[in-house]
């Protein structure tokens, strides 16, 4: 309990003040938990201080009674004015680890601070601060939300293809096929084709507008023809003119909407269908696919 209390004091979680006459102080409670080892033995005893039954909204002033066992004897009638959210059942923390890159996000800033402190004491880490770039994805925050883009990564694909100075195209692919007999010849650099298409697959993380065209290009990875590489070049020209595009995530109602479609045996060679779907959580696109 003392470890938890000391951590909250260090983090400036509250300030002792006199309760304003128009305000009412809420209670708090200690929550205890046993951390166990894999063999069932007790590793340590853990205590958390939780404010009773409230969700703090932005700029809302919340006053809480002093925690049991830690009442300031010189100011026993004062209350804690919360500077940070103090809750357990309504909080969430997500830790994303990819090899040696880590993202940490959550709704309880005091818990995140204590977790980071604990991780620093256990592992050798370098803290880079607020998220702005992760695995080739740039994250820009603003008053309207977060914008995710892969402009730098997309530019590198154009450099690899030698198309940094190409003219842009208004769409990622054409609905008409080439009638040039040479278009049916095997492409002379199949490894280049596979490398470019593989790179474009990762780009669809923030570019759902490329999903259908990239899936179409993926169908010819084994033995690409000259006509197939022409499709990829068309896609890259479209990319050249849309480097600024990405995904916007904004606050909104948590309502889920999904849409799906299929061309029903649209491939003239094998009569297989291409299906697609997209799902929105509120105004935000969170999942999509285009697959034959």
Average pLDDT along the chain: 88
Which backbone phi and psi does 93 adopt, to 5 degrees?
-130, 130
| 158 and 196 both lie in a single domain | yes
| 135 and 212 both lie in a single domain | yes
- Tell me: pLDDT of 54 over 60: no
Query: Is residue 268 domain-resident?
Result: yes
| 13 and 33 both lie in a single domain | yes
- Tell me: pLDDT of 186 over 60: yes
Across 18-22, 33-37, 91-95, 123-127, least confident range: 33-37
| 135 and 247 both lie in a single domain | yes
- Tell me: pLDDT of 225 over 90: yes
Alpha-carbon distance 42 to 32, whole Å? 13
The residue to which tokens 């094998």 are assigned = 270
Query: Is residue 235 domain-resident?
Result: yes
| 191 and 201 both lie in a single domain | yes
- Tell me: pLDDT of 132 over 80: yes
- Tell me: pLDDT of 89 over 60: no
Burial annotation 44-77 (CB, 10 A radius, 16+ → b, else e): eeeebbbbeebebeeeeebbbbbbeeeeeeeeee
Tell me which of 82, 116, 149 is where a domain ends: 82
| 135 and 246 both lie in a single domain | yes
How would residue 51 be classed by pLDDT, with cut points 50, 70 and 90?
A: confident
Mean pLDDT over 101-115 rounds to 84
How would residue 167 be classed by pLDDT, with cut points 50, 70 and 90?
A: very high
- Tell me: pLDDT of 90 over 90: no
Across 143-147, 183-187, 193-197, 220-224, least confident range: 183-187
| 76 and 165 both lie in a single domain | no
Predicted confidence (pLDDT) per residue in 69-81, tens digit: 999 999 999 999 9
Domain enclosing residue 43, as ranges: 2-82
Query: Is residue 41 domain-resident?
Result: yes
Mean pLDDT over 287-291 rounds to 94
- Tell me: pLDDT of 37 over 80: no
Across 115-129, 169-183, 267-281, least confident range: 169-183
Other CB atoms within a 10 A radius of the CB of residue 135 amount to: 13
Across 98-107, 197-206, 223-232, least confident range: 98-107
| 206 and 229 both lie in a single domain | yes
Query: Is residue 106 domain-resident?
Result: no
Percent of the chain surpassing pLDDT 70: 92
| 258 and 247 both lie in a single domain | no
Tell me which of 44, 67, 82 is where a domain ends: 82
Tell me which of 50, 82, 114 is where a domain ends: 82
How would residue 119 be classed by pLDDT, with cut points 50, 70 and 90?
A: confident
- Tell me: pLDDT of 95 over 80: yes
Query: Is residue 292 domain-resident?
Result: yes
Query: Is residue 88 domain-resident?
Result: no
Query: Is residue 232 domain-resident?
Result: yes
Query: Is residue 242 domain-resident?
Result: yes
| 267 and 180 both lie in a single domain | no
Mean pLDDT over 171-189 rounds to 76
- The number of folded domains in the chain is 3
| 231 and 194 both lie in a single domain | yes
pLDDT at 113: 83
| 168 and 73 both lie in a single domain | no
How would residue 280 be classed by pLDDT, with cut points 50, 70 and 90?
A: very high
């Amino acid at each position: 309990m003392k470890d938890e209390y000391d951590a909250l004091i260090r983090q400036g979680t509250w300030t002792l003040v006199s309760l304003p006459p128009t305000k009412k102080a809420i209670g708090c409670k200690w929550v205890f938990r046993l951390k166990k080892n894999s063999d069932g033995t007790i590793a340590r005893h853990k205590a958390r201080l939780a404010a009773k039954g409230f969700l703090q909204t932005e700029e809302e002033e919340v006053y809480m009674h002093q925690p049991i066992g830690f009442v300031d004897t010189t100011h026993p009638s004062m209350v804690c004015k919360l500077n940070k959210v103090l809750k357990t059942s309504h909080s969430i923390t997500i830790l994303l680890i990819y090899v040696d890159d880590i993202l940490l996000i959550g709704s309880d800033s005091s818990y995140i601070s204590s977790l980071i402190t604990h991780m620093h004491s256990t592992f050798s880490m370098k803290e880079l601060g607020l998220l702005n770039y992760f695995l080739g994805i740039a994250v820009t925050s603003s008053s309207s939300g977060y914008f995710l883009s892969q402009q730098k990564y997309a530019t590198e694909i154009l450099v690899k293809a030698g198309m940094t100075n190409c003219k842009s195209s208004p769409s990622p692919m054409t609905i008409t096929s080439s009638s040039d007999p040479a278009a049916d010849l095997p492409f002379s650099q199949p490894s280049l084709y596979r490398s470019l298409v593989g790179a474009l697959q990762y780009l669809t993380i923030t570019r759902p507008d490329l999903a259908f065209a990239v899936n179409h290009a993926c169908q010819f990875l084994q033995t690409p023809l000259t006509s197939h590489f022409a499709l990829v070049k068309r896609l890259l020209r479209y990319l050249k003119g849309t480097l600024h595009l990405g995904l916007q995530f904004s606050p909104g109602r948590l309502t889920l909407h999904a849409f799906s479609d299929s061309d029903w045996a649209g491939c003239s060679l094998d009569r297989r269908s291409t299906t697609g779907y997209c799902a929105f959580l509120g105004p935000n696109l969170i999942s999509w696919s285009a697959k034959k």
